[in-house]
Structure 1
Amino acid sequence: MEGRRISASPRPCSGRRVLAKKRVRADAYINSVKKLQRREISSKKDAAFSISNSHHKFRNMHLVEEYDTHDPKGHCPLVLPFLMKRTKVIEIVAARDIIFALAHSGVCAAFNRETNKRICFLNVCPDEVIRSLFYNKNNDSLITVSVYASDNFSSLKCRSTRIEYIRRGKPDAGFALFESESLKWPGFVEFDDVNGKVLTYSAQDSVYKVFDLKNYTMLYCISDKNVQEIKISPGIMLLIFNRSSSHVPLKILSIEDGTVLKAFHHLLHRNKKVDFIEQFNEKLLVKQENENLQILDVRNADLMEVSRTEFMTPSAFIFLYENQLFLTFRKRTVSVWNFRGELVTSFEDHLLWHPDCNTNNIYITSDQDLIISYCKAESEDQWMEGSAGSINISNILTGKCLAKINATNGNPKVDECSSSSSGSGSGSSSSKIAAKKCNRSCQVRSTVAEALEDITSLFYDEERNEIYTGNRHGLVHVWSN
């Protein structure tokens, strides 16, 4: 699944900055949980066919199912009052035929896509607040990261449960991970499936530890109180140390054994805040407040700059490693850049709904040729709280919008629902009466417009070719063709 960092703060703030290779991880400066898929993008000779095929896959997407994370009958053994409240879905993860939906309250529900039934809640203890999810494809298990009322929500606890156990309705059949680690604030745990590693930080003794994601054995530790931040890239880690007035010390380590590959200083403008320092293979990106973007080649120390008027500090990054490109997110817009500091692509008709770049509402496909996002409505007068947005699918390399799910074309298709439905017609041509009959047979209570209101999380299941969205009411909707 996606690599990400989870900090020990029981209620992280909503601001976000994202890094990615295959999947995205979190912003360490503000200690918030972020996610965005980090998958390698490859150059394909059959690009035209790929675009055509993508359009075909998404053009008939429509609403087919609805799940509810709320438990009004109290089947989930919870004792904390706020866990009983209906809250928005903040994270969706799919593994095989199971959909996991995490609500902001900390309740996590598992649904079987084949039976369309809720299997169970993953909250094993009555005072457990689940903070984040991670699917470990190495052993087909789900890792939950939680805090507990009995611990005053101050420490992260990790648990691994095989998907098969969850399918049987036995979420308590898992086992605890990293029990020896003290993950109190501002400690964190970060899962990185790109390198198959787990990084933990114990703030109590200022020790970073790297574990193998396959068997959770500890590989090595880094003990240095001067380390301010660690950034992970394929095969390497970048250690950022406390800055001096004129420079910041940096080290590049092998992710496998912690061997120091290179140590150097990067010069800084005095008395200027560092907006970000990012590592992309051999490229180091450094941006200070009101200064130009610096792109340093760490192999030969070549340095180039991009004007601050051309490249303004983004709220999020996605690195596309194979194509030597990266995405930036700023004020609802998405752009593609190369490492010469040139703007490669601007997206048409892909204005994000959320201004803070809510990466739960963005999905990058495994080939990283497509971006699926929750976007603004077509007309400006519809763009307000409580109105319907759209799910846009765009080509990353061309910026073209390939398909869109909106309140017009996302209506349920009567003839594709269960045999108990009546009426005829399909797509946007279906009458309101026919759509309502279809909704009842398909267990969909929301209208398409309602399902597209205030989407708070989005996930694309590439194997099933289905899009899953969650909204502020705690509902999960399935879009399929």
Structure 2
Amino acid sequence: MGSFARCSPSSGPERFRNIQLQEFDTYDQNFLQLQFLRKRSKIIEIVAAKDIIFALATNQCLCFLNLSPDELIRSLFYNKNNDSLITVSVYGSDNFRSLKIRTTSIEYIRRNKLDAGIPLFETESLKWPGFVEFDDVNGKVLTYSAQDGIYKVFDLKNYNFLYQFSDKNVQEIKISPGIMLLIFERTPSHVPLQILSIEDGTILKTFNHLLHRNKKVDFIEQFNEKLLVKQENENLQILDINSFELTEVSSTDFLTPSAFIFLYENNLFLTVRNRTVAVWNFKGELVTSFEDHLLWHPDCSTNNIYITREQDLIISYCKADEPSPSPSDEPPGDATVISMSNILTGKCIAKISANDPELRICPGRRGETGHSSIRSTVREALEDVTALFYDEDRKEIYTGNKYGLVHVWSTRVGCCL
């Protein structure tokens, strides 16, 4: 991918030194059965499994191309429990309204046996607004059939059915370690809540949370024993569901974020608002404000943010210190960087920058499927990044852009061979 420029002489970790850039192209001119596949589309998601990169573009998926011209892959999930890739697809034959799930062993994909995938949850009716959710933390799969109003939970290791429940008044479900929070349709004065064991569906607690009348609920989030509730222009409420002790944080200190990421390892939570990242504890105290880590995209898609397994580092697509003026809405490459910051201190430890003189570009190989015949400069590779992923084992960052190009920023020796 690109090379990292240090933020300060002594702060750059060794893992982000001597970066080399490679480029891959997801656009396949031989795969033109459908009209909408005849133009380039942006990368919306990247997943890595050992030595394979899966890049999901708007219209197709590199390394796992649609098995049928009628199929569109909507999302990817790497199941580390059995070393397989799960794809969630829709089909034109039913107006793209029903989800179809398939699992394919990484070993089969490596051998190019793409038709060896096994359908999952075939008995479930997952027509919109039905859904499937993969819970890596608890090792579970949650499905919802809107047709009959039934939620089912399966084991992520072997896809065995575990239990089901049904309630048409459920408005939303939040999953955290060990439990599920069921949020029911609110009344003017309160919202009914129920907590279930994620393992067997046992009801652990049922209670009501009082609300300010005529005030919109901005969010309800669950993290272990802590319930976070925020209403429009009201204080953040942090409720301990065991003791029912309530902590409030002033609405002027805690503004409603556009995204939440729970940091399970550190018992903290990260918020994004107006491109700004912050970390809080469950006393409602600000733990970390980040220096030099202003996100580029205002919609703060988590596909442009990666948090390491130990939750000590955040890697994001960010604005540069002094971005160059651009006559269009697209960022010039020297206006953007890939920033790496310490989550507990907020310090920037390294960057991928177009201005890094030590960044090395690896020669591409033309004419091969999945390899680019377009030679991007580092500046071009950093323009309009739409997806980001960090492979911690291989020490590589993968970015995708609006042109369907995937860039690999690698510290591995010999990556250019």
State if a TM-score over 0.5 links the two structures: yes
Point out which structure has higher relative CO (alpha carbons under 8 A, 6+ apart).
2
Of 352, 357, 366, which aligns to 1:405? 352
- Identify the residue that residue 389 of structure 2 maps to in structure 1: 459
The 10-residue stretch of structure 1 (461-470 or 373-382) with the greater mean CA deviation from structure 2: 373-382
- Identify the residue that residue 387 of structure 1 maps to in structure 2: 332
Q: Distance in 2 between matches of 1:258 and 1:122?
A: 37
- Identify the residue that residue 357 of structure 1 maps to in structure 2: 300
- Identify the residue that residue 57 of structure 2 maps to in structure 1: 103
Of 390, 401, 412, which aligns to 1:471? 401
Gaps of 5+ in 1: 1-51, 111-120, 422-440
Runs of 4+ in 1 over 6 A off after TM superposition: 441-444
Q: Distance in 1 between matches of 2:20 and 2:383?
A: 15
Q: Distance in 2 between matches of 1:131 and 1:68?
A: 19
The 5 Å alignment of 1:152-301 reads 152-301=95-244
* Contact 1:410–1:448, Cα closer than 8 Å, also in 2: no
Find the residue that maps to 2:332 and give its secondary structure. coil
- Identify the residue that residue 88 of structure 1 maps to in structure 2: 42
| 1:373 counterpart = 2:326 | no
Q: CA deviation at 1:398?
A: 0.2
- Identify the residue that residue 140 of structure 1 maps to in structure 2: 83
Q: Distance in 1 between matches of 2:373 and 2:290?
A: 36
Letter in 2 for 1:68: D
The sequence identity of aligned pairs, in percent, is 73
Letter in 2 for 1:391: I
Q: CA deviation at 1:62?
A: 3.3
Q: CA deviation at 1:442?
A: 10
1:28-72 Cα deviation digits (max 9, x unpaired): xxxxxxxxxxxxxxxxxxxxxxxx896211133231x11100011
Find the residue that maps to 2:115 and give its secondary structure. helix
Q: Distance in 1 between matches of 2:244 and 2:281?
A: 18
| 1:66 counterpart = 2:23 | yes
Find the residue that maps to 1:164 and give its secondary structure. helix
* Contact 1:146–1:158, Cα closer than 8 Å, also in 2: yes
Gaps of 5+ in 2: 1-9, 366-370, 412-417
Q: Distance in 1 between matches of 2:155 and 2:161?
A: 6
Find the residue that maps to 2:13 and give its secondary structure. helix
Find the residue that maps to 2:330 and give its secondary structure. coil
Q: CA deviation at 1:412?
A: 4.3
Change (3 A) 1:258 1:153: same
Q: CA deviation at 1:413?
A: 2.8
* Contact 1:59–1:404, Cα closer than 8 Å, also in 2: no
Q: Distance in 2 between matches of 1:403 and 1:59?
A: 9
Query: Over the residues paired in the alignment, what is the CA RMSD in angstroms?
Result: 2.0
The 10-residue stretch of structure 1 (320-329 or 276-285) with the greater mean CA deviation from structure 2: 320-329
Q: Distance in 2 between matches of 1:337 and 1:239?
A: 24
Q: CA deviation at 1:140?
A: 0.7
Q: Distance in 2 between matches of 1:264 and 1:158?
A: 35
Q: Distance in 1 between matches of 2:373 and 2:37?
A: 25
* Contact 2:18–2:358, Cα closer than 8 Å, also in 1: no
* Contact 1:411–1:448, Cα closer than 8 Å, also in 2: no
* Contact 2:236–2:249, Cα closer than 8 Å, also in 1: yes
Find the residue that maps to 1:402 and give its secondary structure. strand
The 10-residue stretch of structure 1 (316-325 or 382-391) with the greater mean CA deviation from structure 2: 382-391
Find the residue that maps to 1:87 and give its secondary structure. coil
Change (3 A) 1:370 1:309: same
Letter in 1 for 2:400: G
- Identify the residue that residue 22 of structure 1 maps to in structure 2: none
Q: Distance in 1 between matches of 2:255 and 2:330?
A: 28
Q: Distance in 2 between matches of 1:104 and 1:381?
A: 29
The 10-residue stretch of structure 1 (470-479 or 401-410) with the greater mean CA deviation from structure 2: 401-410
Q: Distance in 2 between matches of 1:87 and 1:348?
A: 33
The 10-residue stretch of structure 1 (148-157 or 315-324) with the greater mean CA deviation from structure 2: 315-324
The 10-residue stretch of structure 1 (374-383 or 309-318) with the greater mean CA deviation from structure 2: 374-383
- Identify the residue that residue 15 of structure 2 maps to in structure 1: 57
1:255-290 Cα deviation digits (max 9, x unpaired): 000001111110001111111000011100000111
* Contact 2:43–2:387, Cα closer than 8 Å, also in 1: yes
Letter in 2 for 1:479: W
Q: Distance in 2 between matches of 1:275 and 1:301?
A: 21
Q: Distance in 1 between matches of 2:113 and 2:245?
A: 56
1:160-205 Cα deviation digits (max 9, x unpaired): 0001111111211101111111111111100011111000011111
Q: Distance in 2 between matches of 1:200 and 1:85?
A: 34
Q: Distance in 2 between matches of 1:453 and 1:257?
A: 47
- Normalised to the residue count of structure 2, the TM-score between the two structures is 0.91
| 1:480 counterpart = 2:394 | no
* Contact 1:455–1:471, Cα closer than 8 Å, also in 2: yes
Q: Distance in 2 between matches of 1:164 and 1:348?
A: 42
Q: Distance in 2 between matches of 1:53 and 1:135?
A: 32
* Contact 2:384–2:402, Cα closer than 8 Å, also in 1: yes
